[in-house]
Amino acid sequence: MSKTSLSSPDRNWWRAPIGLDEIVWISIAFIWGIFMTFMMVYWYYAGDQNQVGESYRITPDAFAAKMETMIEKYQVGEEFDTPVVAVPEGGDIYFGAQQFSFPVIPKLKVGKTYRFHLSSLDVNHGFSIQPINVNLQLVPGYDYILKLTPNSTGDFHVVCNEFCGIGHHEMLGKIIVTD
Amino acid sequence: MSNASDFRTCPDTGLKVHKPAEALIKANAVVAVVFLLVGGLMGLLVALTRMPAIHLLPADLFYLALTAHGADILVVWIIFFEIAILYFVSAVLLQCRLATPKLAWVAFFLMLIGAALANYAVLIGEATVMFTSYVPLKAHPFFYLGLILFAVGALIGCFIFLATLVIAKDEKTYEGSLNLVTFGGLIACIIAIFTIATGAVILIPTWLWSMDIIGDIDAELYRLIWWGFGHSSQQINVSAQIAVWYAIGALVFGAKPLSEKVSRTAFLLYLFALQLGSAHHLLSDPATSFAWRAVNTSYAMYLAVLGSMIHALTVPGAIEAAQRRKGLTNGLFEWLRKAPWSNPVFSGMFLSLVLFGFLGGTTGVTMSVQQINMIIHNTIFVPGHFHGTVAVGTTLAFMALTYWLLPVLWRRELFMPKAAQWSTWLFGIGMGGLAIFHMAAGHLGVARRHWDMTFADAAMQFGYSDTVHLFMAIAGVFALIGSVGALFYILVAVGTILMGKKRPDTAPATTSEESVEAATTYGSAVPEHGKGWECPGSMVLVLVFMVFLVVYYFANWKYLSTVWGVS
């Protein structure tokens, strides 16, 4: 039987020359990999979309208390049994989901920046802003702080896109962005 | 110890086959196919529920079926088949006895009992937590115990593979270095040991927690370690499937690696970098720094991606070089046009290679970019991506190999060979189409693991665009096409084993021997290795792939730049 990929290679296989095809392709692929690495670093410093943010540990009870305080202070209305809160620009919005609802409807101004505190009071949930399509994970025990800056006005919906139990598909929230 | 009566000589390949090893290969492969049937059926139910016009199952059964589909396909089908592959590439390819066949049967039954136990917990409705079972969602203890038993069995299988390599070396059944395919199996095995150990690290405490023996488990830590198991187990698949690609190149065309050094280094890159992939699932999570995310998600500057891109050239390149040695030297693609497209062993392998690269590879590289991840995280883009890897890549490659193994190991003609021919195309096109339309719907925001995208039960009203409904309907049609392909595969496999026509024990000579003759006749028409272009057609294919990847990659950056500011 002649040599195939199923037979042991010649003794000196490590010293056999590498073909031109392989050298050219490996070079292209390697340079592309380096480029993609630096593209990520570049966007971290220069881009407007970076979801690393800040994170702290927090108990669900402590988070729920902060959420209560925020609602008391900034509630401006109610829709679908959910408080609508208008936190001033740069303020802290506590957003702790639980089975099977989102806690508040934030009312934001376009072009202004808000500190969203994302968390869960029970199991993992998803925070998917539609139709913008920004998707983040809500993890119990963590206060995940991201500064969000809406660039368009209208009513946006929040979909839970992490399976959280049989009522998962009933979870729907809202964010209002005005001029 | 073994004696001569434990071996038979294979009339097709001339290989000396250890009978106890052969029995184990058959048993593991058969059970794998049974679980492909169970898991595939669950997948079909899921797909029909996500088709807006049909919406088949009620919510609780949908989530149950989705949990079973994930566990049975991603773990049970694939790992049973991989154990069969590991025994094949060690005992059969190295022509030695398998180490401790009795223990291998213990491993087999542990895996079988584990799989049955986990399925039982899911099917009684006590483990509807998805395959990922993120804490603090809690499943029945049998679910975790089943996975643990399965993992222990698989781990024993891995060590039997390693022990068999030691026996082969010790008994000098081969000379020099391992062949490339067994080497690929070895890489898969080492990754598997890491993967299974990681699974134990997280599943054992979770099992204890499910019985209230220990307290809370940190939800983010769980995600980190679980994905060390969940993502890395897909890296076993990549290594195993690429070993299968090389094997089929050798079996059908008599192909040998362009350069042993390059192909083996590409496998080694997997070993060094793939375990970092756990981070892909934590990019839109709290708790980790940018540096951690960037290093891990890129597999340390895309080293594992480099490995895959190397194989993308060298797998078809080895076939092209073999075909050119046979005289198929006209133009760039005569070697490919005149390939045996009606042979499911080849068509399955080549479709697997092309679809895995274009659908699974390009999207995997793009979605794992730290920032781009947030526009696809937990959307149905993700299942789209992994049907582009695990379904059209791994599963299709294993189907192709099965069509070679069936006549050789069972000594029977393929049952319904036409169905076998159709199956690879139907499954490849079906699952490939499903992957594309899921990814398209994901780019438009559709959530994964979601029963009702019309949100009929929610207090508020929200609906995705009509385009999305159309995409999900088309995805469902492709799921049906793929299911027919999978069903043909299962029918052919079971039919061949039970009622295939017996083959004589003196079969005609194999294609690889013909290729020896061809190579000596036409050999001079091809440049010697290391001088000039050996595989210009494959080079063109990978360059087209590169252009596609670059365009897709930048289109995603463009999309990301238009969403809300996040910092």
CB contact under 8 A, B462 and A18: no
CA distance B316 to B542: 10
When pLDDT is averaged across residues A161-176 and rounded to a whole number, the result is 96
In chain A, whose CA is at the least distance from the CA of B58? A166
* Average model confidence (pLDDT) across chain A: 96
Residue found by looking up tokens 């000579």 in the block: B509
Asked if A46 reaches chain B (Cβ–Cβ under 8 Å), the answer is no
Please indicate, yes or no, whether residues B145 and B244 belong to a single structural domain of this protein: no
In a domain? residue B402: yes
Both B385 and B325 in one domain: the answer is no
Residue B282 has what pLDDT?
96
Q: What are phi and psi of B162, to 5 degrees?
A: -65, -40
**Would B263 be classed as within a structural domain?**
yes
In this predicted structure, the answer to whether residue A28 has a pLDDT above a threshold of 50 is yes
Task: Say yes or no: B83 and B99 in one domain.
Answer: yes
Per-position DSSP letters for A96-148, written without gaps between them: EEBTTB-S-EEEEETT--EEEEEEESSS-EEEEEETTTEEEEE-BTEEEEEEE
Helix (H/G/I), strand (E/B), else coil: B393: helix
Gap between the terminal Cα atoms of chain A = 77
Place of tokens 């199923």: A6
**Hey, what's the torsion of the CAs at A16, A19, A20, A26, to 10 degrees?**
-100
Q: B176, B205, B233: which is the final residue of a domain?
A: B176
Amino acid identity at A15: R
Please state at what angle helix B78-87 crosses helix B101-123, rounded to 10 degrees. 170
Nearest Cα to B390, choosing from B361, B367, B350? B361
Contacting A residues, span 66-125, partner chain B, CB-CB under 8 Å: 80-81, 113, 118, 122-124
Residues of chain B neighbouring A14 (CB-CB closer than 8 A): 260-261
Q: Give the span between the Cα atoms of B114 and B156, in whole angstroms.
A: 14
Closest C-alpha to B534, from B241, B313, B312, B228: B313
B340 touches chain A (CB under 8 A): no
Closest residue on chain A to B373 (Cα): A135
Predicted TM-score (pTM) of the model is 0.95
CB contact under 8 A, A21 and B258: yes
In a 10 Å sphere around its CB, with 0-12 CB exposed, 13-18 middle and 19+ buried, how is residue B124 labelled?
A: exposed
Q: Which residues of B touch A161 (CB under 8 A)?
A: 377-379, 447-450
Q: Under an 8 A CB cutoff, do A30 and B306 touch?
A: yes
pLDDT at residue B83 in the model: 97
Contact A120, A140 (CB under 8 A): yes
Give how far A88 is from chain B: nearest CA, Å. Answer: 17
> Domain range spanning residue B218?
182-189+213-301+310-339+533-561
Quick check: is B96 in a domain? yes
Beta bridge partners of A128: A135, A159
Query: Does residue B515 belong to any structural domain of this protein?
Result: no
- The reported pLDDT for the residue numbered B4 is 76
Would you state the structure tokens that stand for residue B108, as one six-digit string? 């087999």
β-bridge partners, B7: B18
Name the residue of chain A whose CA is nearest to B178's CA.
Answer: A8
Determine contact, residues B371/A51, Cβ cutoff 8 Å: yes
Across the interface, whether the CB atoms of B290 and A165 are under 8 A apart is answered no
Residues 6+ apart with CB under 8 A from A154: A177
Q: Tell me, what's the pLDDT at A118?
A: 98
Picking from B96, B253, B276, B460 by the largest number of A CB atoms within 10 A of its own CB, the best residue to mutate is B460
Specify the amino acid at residue B219.
A
* B360 shares a domain with B330: no
For residues A97 and A171, the answer to whether their CB atoms sit within 8 Å is yes
Does a structural domain hold residue B330?
Answer: yes
Which residues from B are below 8 Å from A129, CB to CB? 564
Does one domain contain both B133 and B237? no
CB distance A43–B257 less than 8 Å? Answer: no
Q: Which of B289, B294, B542 has the CB atom closest to A41's CB atom?
A: B294
Q: Are B87 and B27 in contact (CB under 8 A)?
A: no
pLDDT at A74: 97
Q: Which two tokens stand for residue B325?
A: 């040695």
Share of chain B above pLDDT 70, in %: 95
**B321 and B282 assigned to the same domain:** yes
User: Do residues B39 and B157 both lie within one domain?
Assistant: yes
- Conformation bin of residue B361: beta by default, left when phi > 0, alpha when psi is -120 to 50: alpha
Cβ atoms A131, A150 nearer than 8 A: no
- pLDDT for the residue B566: 97
Residue B198, domain member (yes or no): no
Q: Specify the DSSP class assigned to residue B414.
A: P
Report the residue of chain B nearest A38, measured CA to CA: B301
- Rg (chain A; Cα; Å): 25
Note the pLDDT tens digit of each residue in A81-112: 999 999 999 999 999 999 999 999 999 999 99
Token couple for B514 = 């013909």
CB contact set of B69 (below 8 Å; sequence gap of 6+): B39, B42, B43, B46
pLDDT given for residue B2 in this prediction = 60
Do B383 and B244 sit in the same domain of this protein? no
- What is the pLDDT, as a whole number, of residue B288? 94
Distance of CA B306 to CAs B240, B268, B270, B484, Å? 17, 11, 9, 35
Residues in A 124-163 with any Cβ partner in B closer than 8 A = 124, 126, 128-137, 139-144, 146-152, 157, 159-163
pLDDT score recorded for residue B432: 98
Q: What is the pLDDT of residue B505?
A: 76
Do both B334 and B351 map to the same domain?
Answer: no
The number of domains in chain B is: 3
* B1 belongs to a structural domain: no
What is d(CA B173, CA B167) in angstroms, rounded to the nearest whole number?
Answer: 9
Query: Any idea what DSSP says for residue B502?
Result: B
Quick one: pLDDT at residue B3? 74
CB–CB contact A169 B457 (8 Å): yes
Pick from B22, B40, B6: nearest CA to B434: B40
Residues 39-68 of B with CB under 8 A from A: 59-60, 63
Is residue A164 within 8 Å of residue A152, measured between CB atoms? Answer: no
Which residue of A52, A118, A122 is in closest CB contact with B293? Answer: A52
Contact B298 A40 (CB under 8 A): yes
Q: Which residues of chain B carry a pLDDT beneath 70?
A: 1-2, 506-531
CA–CA dist B149, B114 (Å, integer): 5
The type of residue at B554 is F
Instruction: Give the chain A residue nearest B377 (alpha carbons).
Output: A135
Residues of B in contact with A168 (CB under 8 A): 63, 449-451
A120-145 pLDDT, tens digit per residue, is: 999 999 999 999 999 999 999 999 99
Chain B segment 280-299 residues within 8 A of A by beta carbon are: 283-290, 293-294, 297-298
Residues B393 and B357 in one domain: yes
Domain-embedded: residue B510: no
Q: Do A37 and B449 touch (CB under 8 A)?
A: no
Residue of B nearest to A129 (CA): B445
| Cβ-Cβ contacts under 8 Å, A147 against chain B | 565-567
Task: Specify the pLDDT at position B526.
Answer: 57
pLDDT at B528: 64
Claim to verify: residue B354 and residue B326 sit in the same structural domain: no
Residues B280 and B352 in one domain: no
Please tell me the distance from the alpha carbon of residue A62 to that of residue B47, in angstroms, as a whole number.
41
Q: Which tokens belong to B47?
A: 């797909």
Query: Quick one: which of B284, B308, B259 has its CA closest to B378?
Result: B284
Minimum-distance CB partner of A163 among B63, B459, B532: B63
Distance from CA of B461 to the nearest CA of A (A): 8
Q: CB distance B180–A9 less than 8 Å?
A: yes
Residue B378, chain A, CB below 8 Å: the answer is: yes
